[in-house]
């Protein structure tokens, strides 16, 4: 059976350009910290990739610290800031990724930021948190660029401006947004930004922490002087090469904007197909311009989403749900719960560079039958 992948927001398939760069990099053998020719060749490969990634997100190359992925970048950001202000709380909304919330909760007490029904962080609650004094003054504020479950784009520029005016560090989790929408981190001005390559067609196991000029934080990883002593460990040059190749691809012309337009069309098609079934609605911002172009989260009345995921999977279609059994977690999505949405009835569809008309057509052929069949079973119609 042919497979149809509609879960790009979890991880996007490796792009051919990244694969080619990684295969070529596998032949390079040398410690990039050594002065001999073999080491220098690997160093050039790494620094070329760093320059491309920096250019993609609008910062200087020396601001980019390669990590093993977005999760490590987030943990490094939290660790570094918390070390500078021990005991002070961290301000964080319920819609943040679990890596953000879990790393923060281990480091310090959490100040909860309010979110609207669409999943958008309430800037008023940020202002209130920033107004605290003494030991209650936050050591760090988190604000994602866009939500990974429902796609809602956050008022990141406004929240960064509030934090800078209050002289409180801010970390922006941009893992869900980089590669999908233009992300000029230089113009954003955040102290720390996390990125993950596999989210937009790069290799898994590589990401970056972008650090604003003038900031210096204790590193999470110790044991070497790699990454200018900001992240110890032998560099994963093969994955870094793939990361750089995808960044270079997306720098060409209006590639990101063009892919975003195509993805928005695909999502609109999926939405039309899904909403033709009674009791299906959008979770998050209903305005396409208010959410990421490649994903939409749906509420499905009358049936839990997990069986829908299983039914679609049997039809060869991969999607995601926010219910407890959709991942390694034993708990439903805290993102959806914080929005007041039933995570047991949420279904996320996401497209990307490899999505085809056949993928959309296969979803159209299967969705109504799966949902209506499950509803009939729930209502006793299958007995």
**What is the pLDDT, as a whole number, of residue 335?**
87
Residue 328 has pLDDT above 80, yes or no: no
Pair (196, 122) in one structural domain: yes
Cα–Cα dist 162/175, whole Å: 22
Looking at the chain, how many residues does it have?
A: 383
Pair (259, 231) in one structural domain: no
Domain boundary (211, 230, 251) is at: 251
Residues of the domain holding 290: 4-12+254-378
Pair (223, 83) in one structural domain: yes
For residues 258-279, average pLDDT:
97
For residues 368-383, average pLDDT:
83
For residues 44-62, average pLDDT:
98
Pair (290, 247) in one structural domain: no
Confidence of residue 114 (pLDDT cuts 50, 70, 90): very high
Per the structure, the count of domains in the chain is 2
CATH number of the domain encompassing residue 347:
3.90.1150.10
Residue 122 has pLDDT above 70, yes or no: yes
Question: How many percent of the chain have pLDDT more than 70?
Answer: 97
Cα–Cα dist 75/37, whole Å: 35
Pair (203, 61) in one structural domain: yes
**What is the pLDDT, as a whole number, of residue 172?**
98
**What is the pLDDT, as a whole number, of residue 383?**
43
In a domain, 372, yes or no: yes
Q: Which residues are catalytic?
A: 325
Contact 156, 172 (CB under 8 A): yes
For the beta sheet containing 320-321, the strands, ordered from the edge strand earlier in sequence to the opposite edge, are 280-283, 295-300, 346-350, 320-321
Pair (78, 162) in one structural domain: yes
Which residues does residue 170 pair with via DSSP β-bridges, in sequence order? 141
For residues 142-148, average pLDDT:
97
Average pLDDT, the chain: 94
In a domain, 146, yes or no: yes
Of the candidates 273, 263, 256, the one whose C-alpha atom is nearest the C-alpha of residue 356 is 263
Cα–Cα dist 143/101, whole Å: 11
Residue 323 has pLDDT above 50, yes or no: yes
Pair (99, 59) in one structural domain: yes
For residues 34-52, average pLDDT:
95
In a domain, 211, yes or no: yes
Contact 117, 339 (CB under 8 A): yes
Domain boundary (251, 272, 301) is at: 251
**What is the pLDDT, as a whole number, of residue 326?**
45
| pLDDT tens digit sequence for 349-365 | 999 999 999 999 999 99
In a domain, 298, yes or no: yes
Pair (258, 244) in one structural domain: no
By the 10 Å C-beta count (0-12 exposed, 13-18 middle, 19+ buried), 82 is classed as buried
**What is the pLDDT, as a whole number, of residue 281?**
95
CATH number of the domain encompassing residue 101:
3.40.640.10
Pair (189, 247) in one structural domain: yes
Domain boundary (201, 223, 251) is at: 251
Helix H or strand E segment including 113:
strand 110-113
Which pair of tokens denotes residue 151? Answer: 């796609």
Query: Three-state SS string across 132-188, please?
Result: CCHHHCCCEEECCCECCCCCEECCHHHHHHHHHHHCCCEEEECCCCECCECCCHHHH
Residue 155 has pLDDT above 90, yes or no: yes
In a domain, 239, yes or no: yes
In a domain, 288, yes or no: yes
Collapsing DSSP states into helix, strand and coil, what is residue 92?
strand
Residue 339 has pLDDT above 90, yes or no: no
Own/partner long-range contacts of 77-80 (Cβ < 8 Å, ≥24 apart):
77/140, 77/171, 77/192, 77/194, 77/209, 77/217, 78/103, 78/104, 78/107, 78/140, 78/171, 79/103, 79/107, 79/217, 79/218, 79/220, 80/192, 80/217, 80/218, 80/219, 80/220
**What is the pLDDT, as a whole number, of residue 325?**
43
**What is the pLDDT, as a whole number, of residue 158?**
98
Pair (162, 269) in one structural domain: no
Pair (130, 170) in one structural domain: yes
Pair (207, 354) in one structural domain: no
Residue 302 has pLDDT above 80, yes or no: yes
Confidence of residue 156 (pLDDT cuts 50, 70, 90): very high
Which pair of tokens denotes residue 292? Answer: 């990421």
In a domain, 383, yes or no: no
Q: 327: which residues sit within 8 A by CB, 6+ positions away? A: none
Residue 249 has pLDDT above 60, yes or no: yes
For residues 175-196, average pLDDT:
97
**What is the pLDDT, as a whole number, of residue 379?**
81
In a domain, 148, yes or no: yes
Q: Against a cut of 0.85, is the pTM above it? A: yes
**What is the pLDDT, as a whole number, of residue 343?**
79
For residues 263-278, average pLDDT:
98
Residue 44 has pLDDT above 50, yes or no: yes
């Amino acid at each position: 059976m042919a497979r149809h992948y509609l879960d790009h927001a979890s991880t996007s398939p490796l792009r051919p350009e990244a694969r080619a760069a990684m295969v070529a990099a596998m032949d390079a053998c040398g410690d990039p910290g050594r002065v001999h020719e073999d080491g220098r060749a690997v160093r050039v490969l790494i620094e070329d990739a760093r320059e491309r990634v920096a250019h993609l997100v609008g910062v200087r190359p020396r601001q980019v610290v390669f990590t093993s992925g977005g999760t490590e970048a987030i943990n490094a950001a939290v660790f570094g800031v918390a070390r500078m202000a021990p005991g002070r709380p961290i301000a964080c909304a319920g819609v943040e990724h679990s890596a953000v919330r879990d790393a923060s909760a281990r480091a310090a007490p959490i100040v909860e930021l309010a979110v609207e029904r669409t999943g958008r962080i309430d800037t008023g609650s940020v202002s209130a948190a920033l107004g605290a004094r003494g030991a209650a003054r936050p050591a760090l504020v988190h604000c994602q660029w866009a939500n990974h479950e429902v796609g809602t784009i956050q008022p990141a520029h406004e929240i960064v401006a509030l934090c800078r005016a209050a002289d409180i560090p801010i970390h922006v989790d941009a893992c869900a947004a980089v590669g999908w929408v233009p992300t000029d981190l230089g113009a954003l001005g955040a102290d720390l930004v996390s990125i993950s390559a596999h989210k937009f067609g790069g290799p898994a196991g590589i990401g970056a922490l972008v650090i604003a000029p003038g900031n210096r934080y204790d590193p999470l990883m110790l044991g070497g002087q790699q990454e200018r002593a900001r992240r110890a460990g032998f560099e994963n040059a093969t994955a870094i090469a793939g990361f750089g190749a995808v960044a270079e691809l997306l720098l060409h012309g209006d590639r990101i904007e063009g892919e975003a337009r195509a993805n928005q069309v695909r999502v609109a098609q999926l939405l039309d197909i899904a909403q033709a079934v009674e009791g299906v609605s959008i979770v998050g911002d209903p305005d396409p311009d208010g959410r990421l172009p490649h994903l939409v989260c749906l509420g499905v009345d009358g049936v839990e989403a997990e069986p829908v995921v299983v039914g679609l999977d049997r039809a060869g279609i991969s999607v995601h749900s926010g219910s407890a059994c959709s991942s390694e977690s034993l708990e439903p999505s805290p993102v959806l719960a914080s929005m007041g949405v039933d995570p047991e009835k949420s279904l996320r569809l996401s497209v990307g560079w490899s999505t085809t008309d056949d993928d959309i057509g296969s979803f159209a052929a299967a969705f109504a039958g799966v949902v209506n069949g499950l509803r009939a079973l729930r209502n006793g119609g299958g007995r």
